[in-house]
Amino acid sequence: NEWAAKKFVWVPDEHEGFVRGQVRQEQMDGQLLVDLENGKRVTIHKD
């Protein structure tokens, strides 16, 4: 299953509601580096 294997997440977005993103890196402090399908890269908290 591509969703589970590539660690996709939904990230809140003020304009679109939520945007799908792919986790690129999990950091030691619980932050996730995520590439969004709209081309942006963001850092979010794992929770």
pTM of the model: 0.77
Q: What are the DSSP calls for 1-47, one per residue?
A: -HHHHTTEEEEEETTTEEEEEEEEEE-TTSEEEEEETTS-EEEEE--
**What is the number of domains present in the chain?**
1
Residue-by-residue pLDDT tens, the chain, 47 positions: 555 667 899 999 999 999 999 999 999 998 999 999 999 999 999 87
pLDDT of residue 11: 95
Q: What is the CATH number of the domain that holds 28?
A: 2.30.30
pLDDT of residue 18: 96
- Is residue 21 within 8 A of residue 35, CB to CB? The reply is yes
pLDDT of residue 4: 61
Distance of alpha carbon 15 from alpha carbon 45, whole angstroms: 20
- Domain of residue 40 covers 2-45
